[in-house]
């Protein structure tokens, strides 16, 4: 069996099977995952990230399918990550007529990966980002992430990209619902898909009314693009819109600021997680925890006061935490 360093080296030269192996290891939070990311991260940062989100069945995959072809035709190396909903409730209802990216492998150079949020061990947001970074490091120019924008974590994934496309349909409801779902803040481009159906004008109109009320003088105003993805209508306008937003971000280094904001949030979240993990493992492996457990079981003290005592005792232990960590204990 290939050693991890060999797999990494092959993936970096564009080997798809090895790239896939690395993503799988990260997806199942394998013990080698941190090493993989440490090795690959320095090679990432060159790709352009596009998030595509929208309600179940809005036509995201159909749109992605068409976009991938356009990018490939223009000589881009494309990676797609489609995050499937984990809940059997929504998943079951959708599986009937969902579209898969179905481009012939030999025809275009692209990489497709589907991730089920139910199978991901390290958290949806973290794992998707890591998978995208693996593709980035392995030479993809464009990375498209498709998520069903129904849950907060799915929306978070889409938000962590350079351009966020929100796909609506004539069935998306009115402006109030769009507002409630928090889509106005995240979208860089709105797509009203299924324009071959009645009601598309209404939703586009409601959306325009909402955007017109916002002052966009100092920022990017999301365009509203009407498409019928399955009929391949309007997707070329979306493709141009993506290019325009990218040019906007590249001007005055806005892209650098946008990525820095995202990384700042990500780093903070990771620090929180590491911080809690480190302290908790210290506490749970200490004697106080065992003693407190006995005391609570024997009804000598209630759980809340016991927890307070443990944390207070931990904080006042022989050394201050900062000294402790400085010494690497
Ligand atoms: N009438 C019409 N149907 C469309 C259009 N675009 C997509 N569809 C159909 O809508 C259904 C769902 O399309 P998908 O592309 O799978 O939608 P999705 O948003 O990726 O769905 P999930 O990933 O399951 O959330 C399929 O049957 C498509 O053929 C369109 O422009 N018009
Ligand atoms: Mg889909």
Cβ atoms of residues 134 and 40 within 8 Å: yes
Distance 29 CA to ligand 2 centre (A): 25
Instruction: Work out the average pLDDT over 108-129.
Output: 80
**Number of domains within the chain:** 3
Distance 97 CA to ligand 1 centre (A): 8
Position 90 scores a pLDDT of 45
> Comparing C-alpha atoms, which of 215, 217, 167, 206 is closest to residue 187?
167
Q: Which helix (H) or strand (E) holds 247?
A: helix 235-250
Please list, in sequence order, all residues whose beta carbon lies within 8 angstroms of the beta carbon of residue 70, skipping any fewer than 6 positions away: 235, 236, 239
Asked whether residue 257 is domain-assigned, the answer is no
Distance 7 CA to ligand 2 centre (A): 30
Does residue 206 share a domain with residue 148?
Answer: yes
Position 89 scores a pLDDT of 47
Position 203 scores a pLDDT of 92
Does residue 48 share a domain with residue 24?
Answer: no
In this prediction, residue 122 has a pLDDT band, given cuts at 50, 70 and 90, of low
Instruction: Work out the average pLDDT over 214-218.
Output: 89
Does residue 148 share a domain with residue 106?
Answer: yes
**Residue in 85, 87, 230, 235 to alter for ligand 1 test, most ligand atoms within 8 A of Cβ:** 230
Whose alpha carbon is nearest atom 30 of ligand 1? 194
Asked whether residue 262 is domain-assigned, the answer is no
Residue 264 has pLDDT above 90, yes or no: yes
Task: Give tens-digit pLDDT for 37-87.
Answer: 999 999 999 999 999 998 888 999 999 999 999 999 999 999 999 987 655
In this prediction, residue 218 has a pLDDT band, given cuts at 50, 70 and 90, of confident
Bridge partners of 11, per DSSP, are none
Asked whether residue 261 is domain-assigned, the answer is no
Q: Rounded CA gap, 202 and 208, in Å?
A: 10
Task: Give tens-digit pLDDT for 297-322.
Answer: 999 999 999 999 999 999 888 655 55
Whose alpha carbon is nearest atom 9 of ligand 1? 59
Q: Produce one character per residue of 129-140: b if its CB has 16 or more CB atoms within 10 Å, e if not.
A: bbbbbbbbbbbb
Domain with 26, as residue range(s), is: 1-43
Q: Which residues form the pocket of ligand 1, taking CB atoms under 6 Å from any ligand atom?
A: 54, 56-62, 94, 97-99, 148, 193-194, 196-197, 228-231
Distances (CA, A) of 269 to 40, 224, 272, 293: 21, 33, 5, 30
**Residue in 92, 98, 101, 172 to alter for ligand 1 test, most ligand atoms within 8 A of Cβ:** 98
Does residue 98 share a domain with residue 242?
Answer: yes
Measured from the CA of 148, which atom of ligand 1 is nearest? 25
Does residue 158 share a domain with residue 31?
Answer: no
Does residue 207 share a domain with residue 72?
Answer: yes
Whose alpha carbon is nearest atom 11 of ligand 1? 57
Whose alpha carbon is nearest atom 7 of ligand 1? 59
The owner of tokens 């889409």 is 158
The ligand whose atoms approach the alpha carbon of 58 most closely is: 1
Does residue 299 share a domain with residue 177?
Answer: no
> Comparing C-alpha atoms, which of 20, 245, 5 is closest to residue 115?
20
Cβ atoms of residues 5 and 11 within 8 Å: no
The ligand whose atoms approach the alpha carbon of 193 most closely is: 1
Asked whether residue 259 is domain-assigned, the answer is no
Residues having C-beta closer than 5 Å to ion ligand 2? 60-61
> Comparing C-alpha atoms, which of 61, 104, 103 is closest to residue 85?
61
Residue 228 has pLDDT above 60, yes or no: yes
Whose alpha carbon is nearest atom 13 of ligand 1? 59
């Amino acid at each position: 069996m290939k050693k991890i360093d060999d797999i990494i080296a092959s993936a970096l030269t564009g080997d798809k099977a090895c790239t896939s192996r690395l993503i799988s290891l990260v997806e199942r939070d394998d013990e080698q995952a941190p090493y993989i990311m440490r090795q690959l991260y320095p090679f990432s940062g060159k790709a352009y990230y596009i998030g595509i989100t929208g309600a179940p069945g809005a036509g995201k995959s159909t749109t992605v399918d068409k976009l991938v072809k356009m990018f490939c035709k223009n000589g881009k190396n494309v990676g797609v990550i489609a995050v499937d909903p984990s809940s059997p409730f929504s998943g079951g209802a959708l599986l009937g007529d969902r579209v898969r990216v179905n481009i012939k492998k030999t025809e275009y150079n692209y990489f497709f990966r589907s991730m089920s949020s139910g199978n991901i061990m390290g958290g949806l947001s973290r794992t998707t980002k890591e998978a995208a970074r693996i593709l980035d490091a392995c030479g993809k120019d464009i990375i498209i992430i498709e998520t069903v924008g129904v849950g907060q974590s799915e929306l978070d994934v889409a938000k962590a990209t350079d351009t966020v496309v929100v796909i609506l349909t004539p069935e998306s409801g009115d402006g109030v619902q769009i507002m409630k779902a928090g889509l106005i803040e995240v979208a860089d481009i709105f797509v009203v898909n299924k324009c071959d159906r009645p009601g598309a004008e209404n939703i586009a109109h409601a959306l325009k009314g909402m955007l017109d009320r916002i002052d966009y003088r100092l920022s990017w105003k999301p365009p509203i693009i009407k498409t019928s993805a399955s009929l391949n209508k309007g997707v070329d306008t979306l493709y141009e819109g993506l290019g325009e937003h990218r040019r906007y971000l590249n001007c005055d280094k806005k892209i650098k600021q946008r990525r820095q904001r995202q990384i700042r949030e990500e780093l903070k979240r990771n620090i929180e997680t590491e911080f809690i993990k480190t302290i908790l493992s210290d506490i749970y492996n200490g004697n106080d925890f065992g003693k407190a457990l006995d005391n609570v079981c024997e009804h000598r003290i209630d759980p809340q006061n016991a927890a307070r005592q443990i944390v207070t005792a931990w904080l006042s232990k022989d050394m201050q935490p900062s000294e402790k960590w400085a010494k690497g204990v």
